[in-house]
Amino acid sequence: MTKNLFDAAYQCIIATDPREKLELTQSVVKAWQLGKLNLNSSSSIKTILMPGLPKKLVLVPPTKVPRRKFSTIEGQAALLHAISHIEFNAINLAWDAVYRFRDLPKKFYEDWIKVAYEEAYHFSLLNEQLEKLEYSYGDFAAHNGLWEMAVKTEHDVLIRMALVPRVLEARGLDATPPIIAKLKSQGLSHLVKILEIILADEIGHVAIGSYWFKYFCEQAGLESETTFKKLMSEYFTGSVRLPNIEARLAAGFSEAEIELMN
């Protein structure tokens, strides 16, 4: 393995096989914890138009992703696949934050390495359940919205922190509780437990995004709430419905920012 964190993060991003990506992530996290990786990369930073994804995975527009009822095995597999895809992309996004943005405080890299590790754990939990249903990641179509925003924000770490963890990934804080409620109504307690783990961790991940967004605003002499509103209007054309206010407050949102989403 390389002795440089940025080069190691790049290898994690481009790995296409899920098992390889998980193993690389675990290896890089361990090497970082043991102090075996430095922050002295001289290599140029590459634009990554497409991260490593399973070769059989078909990407389609969000409106073309099939929706199925949880009451069928195929429907449960489709749900697991959709969330697995989000978590797999989240591994790539965390490593891209590490890889792309240089000369930052060590804590920044520690935070996003932690996120990458936890996203890999989430994916492994979901993928295990998917395989029990005799499906695998890549069997259903998925969309690429998360990574498209990563490409749009690759030029500025402040904008990345505002829009990827605090807008796109934070959608999970709002969407997960209703899914948990539906799974409970179907008696799928084993899936409920997994989603409860993911929701608790994701609050922490969005909080990390909030911390660094506010940090970079302060460094640039910008007021964070005004800046967030401006970036939302410039980059984000969708809508956020029924925000999970309690979770978003815990994840570092102000009440004024939450008002923007109503």
| First-to-last C-alpha distance (Å) of the chain | 47
Q: Which residue range is the domain that position 143 belongs to?
A: 78-259
Does residue 10 lie in a domain region?
no
Does residue 211 lie in a domain region?
yes
The C-alpha atoms of residue 245 and residue 174 are separated, in whole angstroms, by 8
Q: What single letter denotes the amino acid at residue 41?
A: S
Does residue 144 lie in a domain region?
yes
Does residue 54 lie in a domain region?
no
The C-alpha atoms of residue 147 and residue 80 are separated, in whole angstroms, by 19
The contacts of residue 95 (CB under 8 Å, 6+ apart) are: 9, 10, 12, 13, 25, 112, 116
The C-alpha atoms of residue 259 and residue 104 are separated, in whole angstroms, by 31
The C-alpha atoms of residue 17 and residue 86 are separated, in whole angstroms, by 16
Domain count, the chain: 1
| Listed residue (84, 96, 4) closest to 50, CA to CA | 96
Contact 15, 24 (CB under 8 A): yes
Does residue 21 lie in a domain region?
no
> What CATH number is attached to the domain comprising 200?
1.20.1260.10
Does residue 186 lie in a domain region?
yes
Does residue 33 lie in a domain region?
no
What tens-digit pLDDT sequence spans the chain (262 residues)?
679 999 999 999 999 999 999 999 999 999 999 999 999 877 889 999 999 999 999 999 888 887 777 788 999 999 999 999 999 999 999 999 999 999 999 999 999 999 999 999 999 999 999 999 999 999 999 999 889 999 999 999 999 999 999 999 999 999 999 999 999 999 999 999 999 999 999 999 999 999 999 999 999 999 999 999 999 888 877 666 678 999 999 999 999 998 877 6
Does residue 223 lie in a domain region?
yes
pTM here?
0.95
